[in-house]
Amino acid sequence: MAIQTPRLPADDPDLGTLTLDELELRWAAFAARAPISAEAMTGADRKAQALGITGEALMEHAGTAVAAAARALLVFNGREGRPILVMSGPGNNGGDGFVAARRLAAWGVPVIAVFVSTDERPRTHDAARNWKRLDGLENVTCVHAPVARDLAILGQGIEKAGVIVDALLGIGSGGRLREPIRAAVEVIRHGRAAGVPVLAVDTPTVVDLTSGDPSDPVVRADLTVTFHRPKLGLMAKPGKSLAGRILVAPIGIPAEADRG
């Protein structure tokens, strides 16, 4: 009997009701795939878009997967009714966070969406579009935090958050972090120390997805939702210990994009 491929996240109407264990089971076939490096993942993403899969569609599936996992993490920790704090950087990792915020709000979960950047708007078209789509939405509070002082103010009372979503930086980042990302990482670290569970988008900010090497400072996550295939850096030390539990979600990259 042929194995049925699960629906992609944005096309899965039940995703927002599933537990963490149910999400893991739903996406088990992707977690069982061979792990890849950051470079290979970037290549697969580009090839998928060359084959006609839009960046917008990839981001929608990624962000929806993150939203489902964030809601499940909220319930798992008995923190329902508290807002989910989504910390998004200026690139596509941040765009995934903006999609997650929109999806969570549609499911009735209150969200504080924070754009962490000195820029006035996200740097990529898809991320900028999804930041704009949050304007005026019910259950969403949007905050632009261009300097460290804004993050320090935001961090006051961080223990009241239900879950913190780390969508600050993804593939292609590392080393010593600069402001205001550095301050945002410190807010996330403070929140986790206060008992708030942390979900990382693709990789904790920032664990190198090839080597597993951490940035300075680095986020320690309770749950990481990575995409398409497991990543070498999340299986190596110290990345494995920083990622926490790992879910591998599909985002619609076709098999042909993995070849060559």
- Model pLDDT, residue 56: 97
Q: How confident is the model at residue 49 (pLDDT cuts 50, 70, 90)?
A: very high
Fold for domain 17-254?
Rossmann fold (3.40.50)
Tell me the C-alpha distance between 226 and 97, whole Å: 13
Segment among 30-44, 107-121, 164-178, 180-194 with least mean pLDDT: 164-178
Cα of first residue to Cα of last residue in the chain, in angstroms, is 29
Is residue 234 very low, low, confident or very high in pLDDT (cuts 50, 70, 90)?
A: very high
What is the value of pTM for the model shown? 0.96
Predicted pLDDT at 3? 46
Q: What is the pLDDT of residue 249?
A: 98
How is the chain split into domains, by residue range? 17-254
Which pLDDT band holds residue 2 (cuts at 50, 70, 90)?
very low
pLDDT surpassing 80 at residue 6: no
Rounded average pLDDT over 140-158: 96
Token pair, residue 228, equals 């398409």
What is d(CA 160, CA 171) in angstroms, rounded to the nearest whole number? 30
Burial of 3 from C-beta contacts in 10 A (0-12 / 13-18 / 19+): exposed
